[in-house]
Chain A
Amino acid sequence: MVKARVTVTLKNGVLDPQGKAIGAALASLDFEGVENVRQGKVFDLELATDDRQAAKDELNAMCEKLLANTVIEDYTVEIE
């Protein structure tokens, strides 16, 4: 089995009002010096294969087809 983590984040330049609100909330909790917050999504997947390269290709395809909206989001795939 291959375990993988996919991280999806907003592309640079895409405004992130949620990240901004989180940053403001951190400041209100007296965490000083937080200059910027960008939020995103994490997916942990388990694939029924031992072929790491095939898994990576499959995961990239999953990101392109569903997990990320590549108009506004970037993704990274890490395999354990």
Chain B
Amino acid sequence: MKSAVILLPGLNRDRDMIAALTKIAGEPPVTVWQSETEIPDVDLVVVPGGFSYGDYLRAGAIAARMPVLQAVREKAEKGVRVLGVCNGFQILIEAGLLPGALMRNASLRFVCREVRLRIENADTVFTQAYEAGQVLTCPVAHHDGNYIVDKAGLKRLQDDDRIVLRYADGTNPNGSLDDIAGIVNEAGNVLGMMPHPENRIEPAHGGRDGRALFASALDMVAA
């Protein structure tokens, strides 16, 4: 499967994402700059992490209004898989592709550490290589990861099994509602998550727990 990585000024995890996709898929992703109005024919579009536009106004707010995000929206509507990690998650929320909001961490501190992550739903295209209930170790590095959504919105996420990843073992780093670390859209083809699976794909990272997320999204799961 082919993938694309979206590039915006101020992102800083784009190279890590490109390296992870290249290692796991065996070929590099195409890169698409923010001013592009079309994304090539790919199966997976990734919006990586960082600080697009310096987090001005709100994290992800300005990036979400750039032309390429309209192209991402069109891909998502066609069923193409879209993954947003960290700032990418914030951008997808600001673009209206996922519900809720990501607010300043409850501690008001930037957190950069490892957390425990539970796979709550292993039936999504992004988690099919994991077992439900499996707990991973994965790094987070963010200032605005405190997920919030209104009561009705939370109930919809819970009832439809759209909370795919939760912080586990008391490691919620940001005060996120219901320990939410990652959610999918209604159709299940858009995943936003705060932790960085691209920084947990080889032994030098301390483990390979994040690898299966890309293997899932790229349909590289052994039958």
Point out residues on A near B: beta carbons under 8 Å. Answer: 14-15, 17-18, 21, 65-67, 69, 71-72
Contact = CB atoms under 8 A, between A and B. Distances in A.
B61 A72 contact: no
- In the A-B complex, the 8 residue pairs with the closest CB atoms: A71-B101, A72-B101, A17-B106, A17-B108, A21-B108, A69-B58, A69-B101, A17-B104
A69 B99 CA distance: 12
A71 B61 CA distance: 13
A21 B106 CA distance: 10
9 contacts: A14-B148, A15-B106, A15-B148, A17-B175, A18-B108, A66-B61, A69-B94, A71-B100, A72-B148
Q: Is the interface of B mostly helix, strand, loop or mixed?
A: loop
Nearest to A10: B103
A59 to B, nearest CB: 16
* Most chain B CB within a 10 A radius of its CB, from A15, A21, A67, A71: A71
B91 to A, nearest CB: 13
B223 interface: no
Interface of B: 57-58, 61, 65, 94, 99-101, 103-108, 146, 148-150, 175
Given A17-B108, A71-B148, A72-B148, 15 more contacts: A15-B103, A15-B148, A17-B103, A17-B104, A17-B106, A17-B107, A17-B146, A17-B175, A18-B104, A21-B108, A66-B61, A69-B94, A69-B101, A71-B99, A71-B101
